[in-house]
């Protein structure tokens, strides 16, 4: 198990006090995680010692920068058990990773009438690109329903798969409900139906061990900033055969092997999809974040989050007027999205903030899911390796304060 107090000392921002004098209680890691000193210092050291553009230079700094950038890719590949670092494409975030698949694989392989299966619990990042493609190409979209207890309806999934979809794209873990979906089973069923699979791993990779080979995922997308790394960089894992068959995403420097006035040849993987000067320092930070999480241990992180989440759900359910959405703690990650009767979620979040408690309020980029449950918004508390039961108690006390204020 984790020594949480020791871990908390690794995160400078957790020592911060707000204007009211309250110490920050950060319960918004689903939106973005905080960064440990190891990541901050790795990026600082890069800019102080090794900053230069990559791949093209032969001087010392360029070679150091290139090595750091590519070594981070190797670490990321190992972290998700990808067969090769060539299968890790740097992107800006999970959203760009999904859009890369939509703009390249999908535009090369989907035509009018082809079916793409999504789910009702998807983040907008895994909805809007497919809406855009449907408008452009006339593809058909259909959705695996979410049950009242926040799980995917797998019987409905099996029924949809009999219609011969070309792509099944779904989240591994819901950013609202916390539901951890049975990714391996969904991928197996999709493959049996002849479909390619794309998994949104933004909320899974930071919180429990992910093995893309065991899952047999065709594409898997995730972001550094949700896993103790910097903003502005993410990754797309893809099977080599798919990545090699896909056209490039963006045109420019470094994604080419040869350019003539009237033609060009794209570079080999992974550089084929990485046009222009990339986020080099951010890649260094990404690698440092992977090192940090690996040292702590993903099994330890997962067990700690489960304990905190179980405790949080018990405490929240004690509060009259609170309704928590999603399944029980054994079927979800560290997320508790809730409503408080008679109080708008934004008011809840704003009052909690007066005591330094940071939660998220709104539709969390999942409007269709909120519509499914007949609500405009929820307040969301989310937990990570640095959170404690004492912070859950502060959250609960804060909600009682909200109730008192609103009568």
Residue 226 near residue 247, CB atoms below 8 Å: no
- Give SS3 for 44: helix
Q: What are phi and psi of 392, to 5 degrees?
A: -60, -40
3-state SS string over 125-142?
A: HHCHHHHHHHHHHCCEEE
Residue 105 near residue 272, CB atoms below 8 Å: no
Dihedral of the alpha carbons of 74, 76, 77, 82, in degrees to the nearest 10: 170
Q: How far apart are CA 341 and CA 320, in angstroms?
A: 8
- Return the pLDDT at 20: 83
User: Which entry of 298, 351, 365, 375 is annotated as an active-site residue?
Assistant: 365
- Give SS3 for 143: strand
Q: How far apart are CA 198 and CA 98, in angstroms?
A: 8
How many whole angstroms from its chain centre is CA 134?
Answer: 24
Query: Given this chain, do its domains 41-295 and 297-405 carry the same CATH topology?
Result: no
Domain locations in the chain as residue ranges? 41-295, 297-405
Q: Which CATH class is domain 297-405?
A: alpha beta
- Return the pLDDT at 279: 98
Q: How far apart are CA 268 and CA 284, in angstroms?
A: 22
- Give SS3 for 375: coil
Q: Specify the CATH number of the domain 41-295.
A: 3.40.640.10
Residue 365 among the catalytic residues: yes
Q: Residue 176 gets which letter from DSSP?
A: T
Can you give the C-alpha Rg of the chain in angstroms? 22
- pLDDT one digit per residue (tens) for the chain, 407 residues: 799 999 999 999 999 998 888 999 999 999 999 999 999 999 999 999 999 999 988 999 999 999 999 999 999 999 999 999 999 999 999 999 999 999 999 999 999 999 999 999 999 999 999 999 999 999 999 999 999 999 999 999 999 999 999 999 999 999 999 999 999 999 999 999 999 999 999 999 999 999 999 999 999 999 999 999 999 999 999 999 999 999 999 999 999 999 999 999 999 999 999 999 999 999 999 999 999 999 999 999 999 999 999 999 999 999 999 999 999 999 999 999 999 999 999 999 999 999 999 999 999 999 999 999 999 999 999 999 999 999 999 999 999 999 999 98
- Return the pLDDT at 56: 83
Answering whether pTM is above 0.75, one says yes
Q: How far apart are CA 165 and CA 117, in angstroms?
A: 7
H/E element holding 170? strand 167-171
Nearest CA among 212, 207, 214 for reference residue 238: 212
- Give SS3 for 51: coil
Question: Vertex 70, ends 67 and 74: CA angle to 5°?
Answer: 125
- Give SS3 for 239: coil
Residue 293 near residue 227, CB atoms below 8 Å: yes
| DSSP per position, 91-126 | ESSHHHHHHHHIIIIIHHH--TT-EEEEETT--GGG
- Return the pLDDT at 293: 98
- Return the pLDDT at 186: 98
- Return the pLDDT at 210: 98
């Amino acid at each position: 198990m984790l020594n949480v107090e020791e871990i908390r000392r690794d995160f400078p921002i957790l020592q911060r006090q707000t204007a009211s004098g309250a110490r920050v209680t950060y319960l918004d890691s689903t939106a973005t995680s905080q960064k440990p000193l190891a990541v901050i210092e790795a990026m600082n050291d890069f800019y102080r010692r090794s900053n230069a553009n990559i791949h093209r230079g032969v001087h010392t700094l360029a070679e150091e920068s290139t090595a750091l950038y590519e070594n981070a890719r190797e670490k990321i590949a190992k972290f998700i058990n990808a067969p090769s670092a060539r299968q890790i494409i740097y992107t800006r975030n999970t959203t760009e990773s999904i859009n890369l698949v939509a703009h390249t694989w999908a535009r090369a392989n989907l035509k009018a009438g082809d079916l793409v299966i999504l789910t009702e619990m998807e983040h907008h990042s895994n909805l809007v690109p497919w809406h855009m493609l449907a408008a452009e190409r006339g593809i058909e979209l259909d959705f695996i329903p979410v049950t009242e207890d926040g799980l995917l309806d797998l019987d409905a999934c099996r029924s949809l798969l009999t219609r011969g979809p070309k792509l099944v794209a779904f989240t591994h873990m819901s950013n609202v409900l916390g539901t951890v979906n049975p990714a391996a089973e969904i991928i197996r069923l999709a493959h049996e139906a002849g479909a390619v699979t794309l998994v949104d791993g933004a909320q899974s990779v930071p919180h429990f061990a992910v093995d893309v080979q065991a899952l047999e995922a065709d594409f898997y997308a995730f972001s550094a900033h949700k896993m103790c790394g910097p903003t502005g960089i993410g990754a797309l894992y893809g099977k080599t055969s798919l990545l090699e068959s896909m056209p490039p995403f963006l045109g420019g420097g470094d994604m080419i092997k040869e350019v003539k006035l009237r033609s060009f040849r794209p570079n080999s993987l992974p550089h084929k999809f990485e046009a222009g000067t990339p986020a080099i320092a951010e890649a260094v930070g990404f690698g440092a974040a992977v090192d940090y999480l690996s040292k702590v241990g993903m099994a330890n992180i997962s067990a700690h989050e489960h304990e905190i989440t179980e405790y949080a759900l018990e405490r929240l359910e004690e509060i009259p007027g609170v309704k928590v959405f999603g399944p029980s703690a054994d079927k979800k990650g560290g997320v508790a999205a809730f409503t408080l009767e008679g109080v708008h979620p934004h008011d809840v979040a704003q009052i909690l903030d007066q005591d330094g408690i940071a939660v998220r309020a709104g539709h969390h980029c999942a409007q269709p899911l909120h519509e499914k449950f007949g609500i405009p918004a929820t307040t969301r508390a989310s937990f990570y390796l640095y959170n404690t039961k004492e912070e859950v108690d502060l959250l609960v006390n804060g909600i009682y304060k909200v109730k008192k204020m609103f009568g």
